[in-house]
Amino acid sequence: DTEVTQTPKHLVMGMTNKKSLKCEQHMGHRAMYWYKQKAKKPPELMFVYSYEKLSINESVPSRFSPECPNSSLLNLHLHALQPEDSALYLCASSGAMETQYFGPGTRLLVL
């Protein structure tokens, strides 16, 4: 099973709202990732968790706050976002063979 799931599928939020994106995988993968993707562009890495610890933060603004409650779950907490943060947010996971499997994404619109 190479399934990564994400909720919600779509999210509309105002600039003062607080919301969270959720990601789950049950493949026993020890690395999980958050990416941001704008239309017709490749995914841009935001954060990497390895064995539930944050190992890479690609200088992401603090209005994005990742959390890894356990080895299967990854959250992205959003607060005071800007309209330019509107994008597709993709979660991915990988095991020992390095192959990253992507979830379906959350399409975020910030008004």
Residues that bind other proteins (CB under 8 A): 40-43, 45, 48, 56, 90, 98-105
Q: Of 109, 10, 25, 12, whose CA–CA distance to 69 is shortest?
A: 25
From CA 38, how far away is CA 43, in angstroms rounded?
8
| 55, amino acid identity | S
Query: In this complex, which beta carbon is closest to other proteins, that of residue 66 or of residue 105?
Result: 105
Least distance (Å) between residue 77 CB and other proteins: 22
Query: In this complex, which beta carbon is closest to other proteins, that of residue 90 or of residue 110?
Result: 90
Q: Of 80, 93, 81, whose CA–CA distance to 23 is shortest?
A: 93
Q: Roughly how many angstroms between the first and final C-alpha of the chain, as a whole number?
A: 37
Least distance (Å) between residue 97 CB and other proteins: 9
Least distance (Å) between residue 98 CB and other proteins: 5
Query: In this complex, which beta carbon is closest to other proteins, that of residue 45 or of residue 73?
Result: 45
Least distance (Å) between residue 20 CB and other proteins: 20
Query: In this complex, which beta carbon is closest to other proteins, that of residue 14 or of residue 28?
Result: 28
C-beta atoms surrounding 86 within 10 Å: 18
